[in-house]
Structure formats: C-alpha cells, structure tokens
Chains A and B, each alone.
Chain A
Amino acid sequence: MRDMIELSNLHVHYGTSHVVQGLSVSAARGEVLGIFGRNGVGKTTLLKTIAGWLKPSDGSITLEGERIDGRSPDRIARMGVGFVPEDRRIFPGLTVEENLTLGFMQASGRSSAANRAALEAIYEQFPRLRERRQQAGTTLSGGEQQMLAMARAMVGEARLFLIDEPSEGLAPMIVADVYRIIRNMKAKGSTILLVEQNVRNALDVCDRFLAIERGRIVHSGSAASPTDTAKLLQVIAV
C-alpha cells in the first residue's frame, strides 16, 4: 500500500543552522507516528516543513505519491494536511463556530449540508465546544483552545494530521481528554504525525515512533514493543 506521507533525505535550514539533517521517514494510511526528542532537535521544524511553513533546502516530501515540498501552506492545506500547531493559534476575534467553519476550506468540494453535518459530528465529539459555540475564542481556557484547534483541523476532513505538542501547558485531566480525541481520530483511520514531550501518553496512541537528536533519527521502533520503547526512553532520557 502507498504511504500517506513520505519524507526522503529531508534537509531544513534556519539561516546557517542545519536543523533537519537528511531525515527519511514514512507513515502509512491510518498510522499514528510519534516523533520524540528533546527541545530544539527539529521536531516542530519537521512538522512546519511538511505544512509548507518552511521550505526544505534538500530532499522531498510526498503526500500519497504527490510532491508537496516547496508548495505554499494554503495549497498543502487544501490537499488535505491539517496542522494543529503547538501554540494552538485560534482566531481570538472570531467565535468558536466561526473558527470551526473556517476549517471548511480544506473540504471545499463539500456541500453546505455536508458541512453542517461535519460541524454537528464535531460538536458530538466536543460537547464543550457546542456549549461555547457563540463565545469569542479569547474567552476559552487553554484546554478548550486546544480542543478547538484540533476540531478545526478535523472539520476539514484532512488526510493527514500534524499535531504538535497537544498536551503542552494543559492540566492532566484535559490532557486525558485530548488523548481521547486523538484515539478517536485513530479509530476513524486518520493518519497522524504526533510531536510530543509527554512520551508515555503519546506511546499509548502511537503505532510507531522515531526519536530525533540534532536533526537526525537516532532510534525508531514499534510502540507495541517493550524493547523498542525502553530504548526510546533511554535515548531521550525521560
């Protein structure tokens, strides 16, 4: 089966700093791939490069066989890549529902009835957002903003989700909610690249993982393998 996403010999620079150094990895359709490592090793850079925020200096990125590296972020989003960034980045001037409806663009061929149904499905999964649908984004708590950012990516029925540090700065109870949502996404067959510092939580939802150190993969394995995960924890010194 063709991979959903394939990165081949990817290099990314921030000015003179060589952040991602020849990284090659792929994820199959429906797979959840965990990307772990210490701060500053290039995890977020990797996601931003896939999303089109940064241009790779070398290598290729293909989405179901189609090259997407070098394309603009809006084009990549319309091709079905949903990005949930670390800082959530909701639109504070808009209400919850307006934030969600902006996600429709990623499913631009859909009818308005289908859009409505997709919104209802999101509200079923995120009852808290339904309660707050008319509230401005600024009035939401950190956890609710995270939910909104994830829901907005989901409403567009992306083929691939890039989720960056979903538990960052959230209370343990909210983190459990966030991971419940990610498990739901996985159960529906979504492909997810999950960058996370909270490795133990993340391993529960991941199929495979890789550990990055100074822009290179230093370890990879199956999340179901105790040997692989033990080595992972050792490598990233958790």
Chain B
Amino acid sequence: MHDALTLDARANHWLALALGLACIGTACIGYAIGDTFYLRLATEALIFGGLALAVDILLGYTGLLSLGQALYFGLGAYVSAVTLIAFPSFWTAMGAALATGLFGGLIGGLIANRVRGVYFALITFGMAQVAAKAIYNTRSLGASDGLIGVPVLDVNLGIVTVSTASPVGFFLLALGVVTLLYALCSYLMDTPFGRLLIAIRTNEARVPFLGFRTTTLRLGSFVLASCVASLSGALYPMLRGFVSPELLFFSTSGNAVITVILGGVGTLVGALYGSIIFTIVKSVIGSWTEHHLIVIGILFMAVVIFLPKGLMGLAQPLMRRMVHRGKP
C-alpha cells in the first residue's frame, strides 16, 4: 500500500518516462535529418532543466526560494571548463564540479540558512552576484569575455564512446546525466529525508519537537541542490565550448525559478518539462523579436494566475488516474 505522496511520485515517474521517450524520439529524428540546431537547443534545455531541478528541491520541497542558484550552476560550468582545458576528461570535470557543488553548497548553506523567507532569497541573490562580479573581474578566467577554448571530448562510457561534438551523441549523454540527477532527487524526496523537507516547508517550527534539527536538514537540502546545479552546469562548456559570467547572473537564476513555476513546483519532473518549454519559447520567440522577454513575462503571469500548480497541475492528475485505474 502506498501513500498519496508516493502515488504522486509514481505518476511523475511516468511523466518523466514519457519525456525520456520523447527525447529519444527527438534524437532519432534529429539524427535521421542531420539536424544540429534543434538538438543543441534541446541539449541546452536539458542542462537548464538540471538547474531547475535544483531550484525545485529548495522551493518545492523545502520551501526556500533561492534567487541565486545560478551561483552553483555557473561555478560548476567554470570548474568544468577550467578542468577540461587543463585535463580533457569528462569524468574528471564532473568529479571536480561535484566537489565544487559539495564544498560551495556547504559554505553557501551555512551562510544562507541563518535566515528565513525573503532574507534567504536576498542572501542567495547576493552570494551569486558577488561570485559573478568576482569572475567578471578575474582576467585569468576570461573576465567579461568568458573562458573560451574548451576542447571537444570523447567520453568513454565503456560500451560506447560519445563525442561532445556530436549533436545527437551529446544530447543523449546530457539526457543520461539529467535522468540520473532526476532519479537521485526523486528517490531522496521519497525517503524520510524528503518527507522531513516537506514537513519543514509546511510547519518548520514543529519539526524540532520531533527530535530533528532543522538547520541540518535545510543544509542537506541546500547542498543537494547545489550539487545538482553544479553537475548540470558542468555540461554547459561541453555543449557550447565556452563559459561566461552571465551563467551566474540573476537572469539565469530567475529563469530557473520561472521554469519551475511554469512546470509545477514540488514535482521535479515539472522542472524538466518547464525547462524544455521555456527554452523553446525563448528561442522561437527570440528568433521573431528581440522583445521576447515581454512574451515570457506574459506567459509567466498567465501560468501563475490560471495554472497555479503549473503544467503538472494539469498533467499529474490525469497520469495518476491512468496509472491507478482499476486499482483499489
């Protein structure tokens, strides 16, 4: 017998599976027609989907609005780029990004978790701004121009070697990484740790009276989110061949929050759907007009007003009914 939250999680897994199959279908079509642009765009959507997952862990499960999650995404991207330039190995770059996420998340979490609510949002925003400005002014990291010259990699996965220059190959590699991140987050949110994060979100004051230290739980959530963001960011220089300080700017953090709200807060899979829709809308409308932010702003307002639970507010109940039809 499963509880309501586990059933929701199962419905989400089916939605994630549908997304995964759609991605594989996209890869097949892209490969067949020799497409590069849309596969690169879809890869970018998946990478930013990883950042949105991190925002959802904080916002949707722990009730913490981070306005600076791009800090860890950008740090992961820079660490990955620097590592790849010095030592072109996918696994080393990912390991370095993970270490950055862990260490950076621990430091950032210790600072940001001292406060709650709007102050938490402002502190995360401030930390990201400080790091962005520091990188912006650091010549050895390319300053405002960013860091270029990230080499093309051949990623040895044991049974197959994938080149980061191959649109379809790297798209599938990014899909694999984001799927693993989703699976990890989803698993953790379905454990007592995840339930405690929900308890913190709904009634933080009561949690200590059950014997739990909320600061430790919040820190755990923060570090998890920073690792997910950092690992996602590590893929960015492999896709684009460069990194720039804009990756740490507020626009990146703000877009991730919009993405999560668009997809559905507290669902994880909604963050991935939201990222794909957001990236496509931004790109398609961006190709028509340079004022695409106006359209995105209107879309965001419409979702908040008419779909407060995001797209998953529509899709999740349908999927839940389909999955559990005929079961007691």
Contact of A102 among B1, B2, B195 (CB under 8 A): B195
Docked-complex contact A98 and B213, CB < 8 angstroms: no
CA distance A145 to B298 in the complex (A): 41
Cα distance A48–B108 in the bound complex, in angstroms = 32
CB <8 Å contact, A95 and B5: yes
User: Known contacts A89-B203, A102-B196: does B3 contact A97 (CB below 8 Å)?
Assistant: yes
* A72 beta carbon closer than 8 Å to chain B: yes
A125 within 8 A of B: no
Could you tell me if B198 and A103 are in contact, using CB atoms closer than 8 angstroms? no
* Set of chain A residues within 8 Å of B192, measured between Cβ atoms: 101-102
Shortest Cβ distance from residue A113 to the other chain B in the assembled complex, whole angstroms: 16
Whether A91 contacts B206 by the Cβ 8 Å rule is yes
- Interface size on A (CB < 8 Å)? 31
Within 8 A of B (CB), among A127-156: 133-136, 152, 156
Q: Is A56 an interface residue (CB 8 A)?
A: no
Query: Which residues of chain B are within 8 angstroms of A135 by Cβ–Cβ distance?
Result: 4
Q: Contact: B198 with A102, CB < 8 Å?
A: no
User: B209: which A residues are within 8 A, CB to CB?
Assistant: 51, 53, 73-74, 77, 83, 85
A161-197 contacts to B, CB under 8 A, are: none
Give Cα A31 to B103, complex, Å: 50
Within 8 Å of chain A (Cβ to Cβ): is B294?
no
In the complex, which residues of chain B have a beta carbon less than 8 angstroms from the beta carbon of A52?
A: 208
Q: Bits for B173-207, please: 1 = Cβ < 8 Å to A, else 0.
A: 00000000000000000001001101101110111
How close is A86's CB to chain B, nearest CB, in angstroms?
12
Q: A78 interface residue, CB < 8 Å from B?
A: yes
Q: Which residues of A contact B32 (CB under 8 A)?
A: none
A114 at the interface (CB under 8 A from B): no
Q: How far is the CA of A89 from the CA of B210 in the complex (A)?
A: 11
Do residues A94 and B198 form an inter-chain contact, with CB atoms below 8 A? yes
Query: Is A152 touching B210 in the complex (CB atoms < 8 A)?
Result: yes
Contacts A101-B192, A134-B1, A135-B4 given; indicate if A94 touches B199 (C-beta within 8 A): yes
B87 at the interface (CB under 8 A from A): no
Q: Is the CB of A156 within 8 A of B211?
A: yes
Is residue B212 within 8 Å, beta carbon to beta carbon, of the partner chain?
yes
0 or 1 for each of B74-102: is its CB under 8 Å from A? (1 = yes):
00000000000000000000000000000
Known: A93-B202, A134-B2. 13 other contacts (CB 8 A): A74-B207, A74-B208, A89-B203, A91-B198, A93-B198, A94-B199, A98-B3, A102-B192, A102-B196, A105-B210, A108-B211, A135-B4, A156-B211
26 A–B contacts from the bound complex (CB under 8 Å)? A72-B208, A72-B213, A74-B209, A78-B211, A83-B209, A85-B209, A89-B203, A89-B205, A90-B206, A91-B198, A92-B202, A92-B203, A94-B198, A94-B202, A95-B4, A95-B5, A102-B196, A102-B207, A103-B210, A105-B211, A106-B211, A133-B3, A134-B2, A134-B4, A152-B210, A156-B210
